[in-house]
Amino acid sequence: MKNRPVTKTLVLMILALGALASPALAGETTVTLAVRNWYCAACPHVIRQSLAAVPGVINVAVSDKTKTASVAFDDIKTDVKSFTQATAEAGYPSLPLYGRDAVAMKDRVLITSGAAERARSIFLNS
């Protein structure tokens, strides 16, 4: 019987620590989007503004050379689907780059249409 108050206190402390730790696990995440329909000098500005308007976005960097946008965001407040929706609504469909496609873009090697279609199908089917 004497162990029950200690056990109860221990359980309450563990629950309290878990509640405090969960926001700490969330944080800044970055995703790179391949953007389509990017043809003019105004495109980077429109793309940047459409992404920056999404609540939870911390920073947006666009590259005219690779036709990509890198978005740093709070993953508690928003997600990648919100970004692809925002760019599509602005007239610039986009899809996230992961794995080899993202590395290729960082090395300024354009992804092939086959890789883009593969990424799109993975993204849309997930």
| Whole-model pTM over 0.85 | no
CA angle 85, 92, 42 (to 5 degrees): 130
- pLDDT value of position 109: 38
Q: Which two tokens stand for residue 119?
A: 């990424």
- CATH code, residues 27-125: 3.30.70.100
Domain segments of the chain as ranges: 27-125
* Residue 30 near residue 102, CB atoms below 8 Å: no
Per-residue pLDDT of the chain (126 residues; tens, 9 = 90+): 455 666 666 556 565 555 554 444 458 889 999 999 999 999 999 999 999 999 999 999 999 999 999 999 999 999 999 999 999 999 999 999 876 555 444 444 344 445 555 555 655 555
- pLDDT value of position 80: 92
- pLDDT value of position 98: 76
